[in-house]
């Protein structure tokens, strides 16, 4: 499926900038913090301490939430595992992140020393068939696509207490959000990031998978000694198989799933979506990488959605004169 929309589309808009410069592991896959927990602010909070990216709009208009609807806060049993605890072939080393659906732990294979990250679904959600299926689908989707620029999930299992988990590759580096915070980027660096990211999206779309939450926080730049970073697309937790259901999924409270800063207009309205919703978000990322600023600036999520629906951003060259005319 081509990565070209059928008609011109307005660019998306970025979220707040994280202040961390080095994130180790696939903790960036996580869906967002549980507000009542003392969590790792560096990984899953904005610098001001607010929840990252997704917000809820409480009004008569379509409601937007973070990438998944949070259930009850995880108990200590949910987010605590002793170092050395065996999960399949791996041994737990420690917790590296937690959120509304559960916890991510670092782990190692005791025989060959392979590092991994293990994502464990919260116990309460394991009893919910819909949430459990979403968790299984996340692992299944990335394997169905099978692309080197998409984070790999290579094992799935169930703990003795009934909690489900999957094992994914260990990533060392930083999110694209963190890279944006460092400094401006030249055209060559932007191209080196966008090309593999576009290939990963194309592979997903060819399999009928719509990511639905593309943003710099879900793009990881893996450190490779002596080479350019390897780009990895993360978090297929709310991905959708377009061939099965093209209408955007809503939570039990009727809220639309997605991130306001990058959501395509048709997705915000709850209309049927296709691969172009991802391309719209990709356009917003490209705009920010080229100009160093969002296409749209808004004080709140409602205003942001209105800008997506009603406004056209200034050409990139308005903010970055060095941008080639072809990119305007």
Cα–Cα distance for residue pair 66/44, rounded to 1 Å:
12
Q: Are 21 and 57 in contact (CB under 8 A)?
A: no
Tokens encoding 227: 């080479």
Cβ contacts of 201 within 8 Å, gap of 6 or more: 3, 211, 214, 233, 275, 278, 279, 282
Of 34, 263, 286, which is closest to residue 294 (Cα–Cα)? 286
- 172 CB-contact burial (10 Å; exposed 0-12 / middle 13-18 / buried 19+): middle
Contact call for residues 268 and 62 (beta carbons, < 8 A):
yes
The tokens 């004169």 sit on which residue?
A: 321
Give the dihedral of Cα atoms 183, 225, 231, 327; nearest 10 deg. 50
Residue 245 falls in the annotated catalytic set: no
Cα distances (angstroms) measured from residue 188 to each of 23, 85, 193: 24, 45, 9
Q: Which of 286, 242, 231, 297 is nearest to 267 (CA)?
A: 242
Interstrand relation of 164-169 and 209-210 (parallel, antiparallel or unpaired)? unpaired
Of 213, 217, 235, 278, which is the active-site residue?
A: 213
Structure tokens of 242?
């377009």
Query: Please, are residues 122 and 74 in contact by the beta-carbon 8 Å criterion?
Result: yes
- Cite the active site residues: 213
């Amino acid at each position: 499926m081509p990565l070209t929309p059928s008609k011109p589309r307005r660019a998306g808009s970025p979220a707040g900038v994280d202040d961390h410069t080095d994130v180790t592991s696939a903790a960036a896959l996580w869906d967002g913090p549980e507000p009542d927990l003392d969590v790792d602010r560096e990984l899953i909070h904005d610098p001001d301490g607010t929840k990252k990216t997704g917000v809820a709009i409480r009004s008569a208009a379509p409601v937007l939430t973070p990438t998944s609807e949070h259930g009850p806060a995880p108990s200590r049993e949910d987010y605590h595992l002793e170092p050395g605890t065996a999960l399949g072939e791996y041994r737990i080393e420690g917790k590296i992140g937690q959120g509304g659906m559960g916890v991510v732990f670092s782990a190692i294979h005791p025989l060959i020393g392979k590092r991994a990250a293990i994502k464990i679904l919260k116990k309460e959600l394991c009893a919910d068939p819909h949430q459990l299926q979403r968790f299984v689908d996340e692992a299944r989707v990335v394997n169905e696509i099978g692309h080197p620029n998409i984070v790999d999930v290579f094992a799935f299992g169930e703990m003795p207490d009934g909690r489900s988990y999957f094992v994914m590759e260990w990533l060392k580096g930083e999110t694209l959000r963190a890279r944006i915070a460092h400094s401006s980027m030249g055209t060559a660096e932007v191209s080196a990031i966008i090309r593999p990211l576009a290939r990963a999206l194309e592979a997903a779309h060819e399999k009928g998978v719509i990511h639905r939450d593309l943003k710099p926080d879900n793009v990881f730049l893996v450190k490779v000694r002596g080479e350019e970073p390897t780009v990895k697309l993360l978090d297929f937790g709310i991905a959708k198989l377009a061939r099965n259901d093209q209408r955007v999924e809503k939570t039990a409270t009727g809220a639309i799933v997605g991130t306001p800063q990058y959501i395509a207009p048709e997705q915000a309205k709850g209309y049927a979506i296709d691969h172009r919703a991802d391309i719209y978000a990709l356009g917003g990322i490209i705009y920010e990488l080229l100009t160093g600023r969002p296409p749209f600036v808004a004080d709140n999520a409602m205003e942001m959605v209105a800008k997506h629906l009603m406004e056209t951003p200034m050409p990139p060259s308005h903010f970055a004169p060095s941008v080639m005319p072809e990119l305007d």
